[in-house]
């Protein structure tokens, strides 16, 4: 069973801050291969049990990075020029990095993505638990632990699978 109550997860995040830091340190001696395999298995299990369309919390709360190529694709989909698209929807840094200029995202409406088929790679990839390099990204993943029920449940199941609580006693 997976926990999807965002208020519960937000509260648990405060209570488990120290525990999660300890968990992160406890993984240092584990191999990348072992942790990637476990993260992928748990991510498959948890993602299948959680309906992102019922949650949408990443769309409501994250800064969404967008590539220049994706800005062009979005412009085509919206039938606007690239310049008009940037003016309406994109913030661009001096280095040319682009991101959606509102939180929640402009394209999030009635708890749904209105450009779902054309959403950005960052939207498709979040929370990145299907990728290799779980251990190297763990601090970043834990930053979103209180925001994303998939992360919360994967981390909690991982603690159990790795007998973290027994080792901590």
- Residues that bind ligand SF4 in the complex, under the rule CB under 6 A: 50, 52, 55-59, 64, 105, 107-108, 113, 115, 119-120, 123, 126-127, 147-150
CB of 33 to ligand SF4, least distance (A): 25
| Cβ-based nearer residue to ligand SF4, 24 or 113 | 113
| Cβ-based nearer residue to ligand SF4, 26 or 78 | 78
CB of 45 to ligand SF4, least distance (A): 14
CB of 98 to ligand SF4, least distance (A): 13
| Cβ-based nearer residue to ligand SF4, 35 or 58 | 58
CB of 151 to ligand SF4, least distance (A): 7
Provide, for the chain, the percentages of residues in helix, strand and coil under a 3-state DSSP scheme, each rounded to the nearest 5: 60, 5, 35
How many other C-beta atoms are found inside a 10 Å radius of the C-beta of residue 49?
Answer: 13
Under DSSP, is residue 33 helix (H, G, I), strand (E, B) or coil? helix
Q: Write phi, then psi, for 146 (nearest 5 degrees).
A: -85, -5
| Cβ-based nearer residue to ligand SF4, 87 or 125 | 125
CA distance 105 to 114: 10
Give Cα separations from 13 to 83, 116, 156 (angstroms).
41, 29, 11
């Amino acid at each position: 069973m997976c926990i999807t109550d965002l208020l519960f997860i937000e509260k648990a995040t405060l209570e488990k801050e120290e525990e999660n830091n300890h968990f992160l340190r406890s993984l240092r001696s584990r191999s990348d291969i072992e942790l990637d395999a476990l993260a992928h298995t748990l991510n498959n299990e948890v993602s299948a049990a959680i309906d992102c369309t019922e949650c949408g919390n990443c769309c409501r709360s994250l800064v969404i990075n967008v590539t220049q190529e994706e800005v062009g694709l979005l412009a085509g989909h919206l039938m606007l020029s690239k310049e008009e698209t940037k003016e309406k929807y994109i913030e661009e840094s001096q280095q040319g990095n682009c991101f959606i200029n509102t939180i929640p995202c402009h394209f999030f409406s009635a708890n749904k993505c209105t450009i779902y088929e054309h959403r950005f790679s960052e939207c498709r990839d979040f929370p990145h638990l299907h990728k290799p390099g779980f251990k190297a990204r763990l601090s970043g993943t834990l930053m979103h632990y209180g925001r994303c029920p998939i992360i919360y449940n994967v981390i909690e199941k991982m603690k159990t699978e790795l007998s973290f609580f027994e080792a901590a006693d």
